[in-house]
Structure 1
Amino acid sequence: MPDRPARVRVVLAEVGRPRTADRARTDLAEQNQVGEALLRGLIRAQFALAVRLAVVVVVGLGGLPLLFAIAPSVTTVKVLGVNLPWLLLGVGSFPFLVAVGWAYVHLAERNDQDFTALVRRPER
């Protein structure tokens, strides 16, 4: 009697679909429709964050000349011997821009972490 190959037992779970996290990573790597939709969502979130913070900067710094035009008496106020407009535009703008930059980095990293959690989340 010829030698038969050993029987191999195939279990449905072994040949079924990959786990959800693996499937999401595969979708991203293969750049199929699901992966593209996930990436578009991340890009859209990052773009919306950038636009919101750009509006904050434009209103915050762009509003100062408008304030000086509407209320000219503000331009004559002196703090520590320096005119208030010089302090606001020359000194106050830097901490403001640093704070907006820090907020952007912090919120962009949170968007990335949310995206990573979404990709790794198991299917319910």
Structure 2
Amino acid sequence: MAEPQQPPRREIVTGVPRGTRRRPPPHAPACSEISEQTTLGATYVRSLMRSQLRAGLCALAVLAVPVGVLPLLFLLPRVASGPLVWVVLGVLVYPVLWFVARTYVIRAERNEADFTGLVSDPTEPPGPRRPE
């Protein structure tokens, strides 16, 4: 006669799952490179400064062309007469200024966020550092 089959034995696995183990970063975080003023850290900072300068010069160029052409446009006798000059100077210039300034601020914040993502340690949670 056949023996009755027993249900398979259940095993309990204890320990840290493999995916959640904390591994050391493959290289030293770039924050230490910057604070120790190494060549690599200087390259990181120079890269941020270049991208911020590029954003500023682009904003200046976009703003200087239309606003810089206005005095030349007002030299024309037909355009310089009447309230058109005051409408352009008093009303139409300010939305352009606001748009260029807002675009520049967004780009500068994006540059800083990209730089922070580049130099931060991937094992640290995002956000401001806590004092130790």
Same topology, TM > 0.5: yes
Question: How far apart in 1 are the matches of 2:77 and 2:49?
Answer: 43
Return the TM-score normalized by structure 1.
0.69
Percent identity (aligned): 39
Question: How far apart in 2 are the matches of 1:36 and 1:64?
Answer: 42
1:20 and 1:121 in contact (8 A); partners too: no
Residues 1-124 of structure 1 correspond to what in structure 2 (within 5 A)? 19-20=25-26, 22-69=28-75, 71-76=76-81, 83-120=83-120
Return the TM-score normalized by structure 2.
0.65
- Quote the offset at 1:45 in angstroms: 0.7
Q: Which amino acid aligns with 2:83?
A: N
- What are the ranges of 5 or more consecutive residues in structure 1 without an aligned counterpart? 1-17, 77-81
CA deviations 1:57-83 (Å, max 9, x no partner) are: 2112111111223x432334xxxxx71
CA deviations 1:24-75 (Å, max 9, x no partner) are: 1210121111011000000011011111111112112111111223x43233
Residues 118 and 60 of structure 1, relative CA distance in 2, 3 Å threshold: same
- Quote the offset at 1:92 in angstroms: 1.5
Bigger radius of gyration among the two = 2
1:25 and 1:119 in contact (8 A); partners too: yes
Give the number of the structure whose residues are more often helix, by fraction.
1
SS at match of 1:55: helix
Q: Which amino acid aligns with 1:73?
A: R
Q: Please report the RMSD computed on the Cα atoms of aligned residues, expressed in angstroms.
A: 2.1
Residues 45 and 89 of structure 1, relative CA distance in 2, 3 Å threshold: same
- What are the ranges of 5 or more consecutive residues in structure 2 without an aligned counterpart? 1-23, 123-132
Structure 1 segments of 4+ aligned residues over 4 angstroms from their partners: none
Question: How far apart in 2 are the matches of 1:20 and 1:50?
Answer: 35
Question: How far apart in 1 are the matches of 2:46 and 2:115?
Answer: 11
Matched positions, count: 99
